[in-house]
Amino acid sequence: MNAWAVLVLAAGTYALRVAGPLLAGRVRLTDRARLLLARGAAVLLVALAATGALTEGHGLAGWARAAGVAAGVVLVARRVPFAVAVVAAAVLTALLRWAGVR
């Protein structure tokens, strides 16, 4: 990648990070705008997590991993401790792979 592109992206990222605290007291958002921003952030986080968890290369990482992620999501939604949900998801994925499901 071109060094100038990296510098421009770094400067832009820094400017956006600094703009938040500088503009926090000056910009007034409606309650609806705050709600939409919060939901938008949550949607982006879920999309990033799903992409990282379910894909490998240019395709699906496999049904075993998808089943493990789904099990983890269900357990977290049922308020199971996060560590337990992660271990259960990993165990389910391992068992499915051991059984031949890819």
Query: How high is the mean pLDDT in each 10-residue block of the chain (102 residues)?
Result: 88 91 86 93 91 89 93 95 96 96 90
How far apart are alpha carbons 80 and 82 in whole angstroms?
A: 6
DSSP 62: -
Same domain as 73, residue 37: no
Q: State whether residue 72 is helix, strand or coil.
A: helix
The reply to whether 76 and 38 lie within a common domain is no
| Structure confidence at residue 76 (pLDDT) | 94
Considering the domain architecture, whether residues 32 and 79 belong to the same structural domain is answered as: no
pTM (predicted TM-score): 0.62
What is the rounded end-to-end Cα distance, in angstroms, of the chain?
35
Cα Rg of the chain (Å, integer): 20
**Nearest-5° Cα angle at 27, 25 to 31:** 105
User: Can you give the pLDDT at residue 7?
Assistant: 93
Is the domain of 80 the same as that of 49?
A: no
Question: Is the domain of 81 the same as that of 34?
Answer: no
Q: Tell me which of 20, 35, 53 is where a domain ends.
A: 53
> Hey, what are 86's tokens?
């992660």
Count of structural domains within the chain = 2
The reported pLDDT for the residue numbered 31 is: 94
Q: For position 23, what pLDDT does the model report?
A: 85
Residue 40: its pLDDT value, please? Answer: 94
Q: Which two tokens stand for residue 7?
A: 């510098």
Q: Which domain holds residue 17?
A: 1-53
H or E segment at 56? Answer: strand 55-56
- Predicted pLDDT of residue 26: 86
In this prediction, residue 1 carries a pLDDT of 60
Residues 8 and 47 in one domain: yes
Together in a domain, 7 and 49: yes
Query: What is the pLDDT at residue 67?
Result: 95
- Assess whether 41 and 2 both reside in one domain: yes
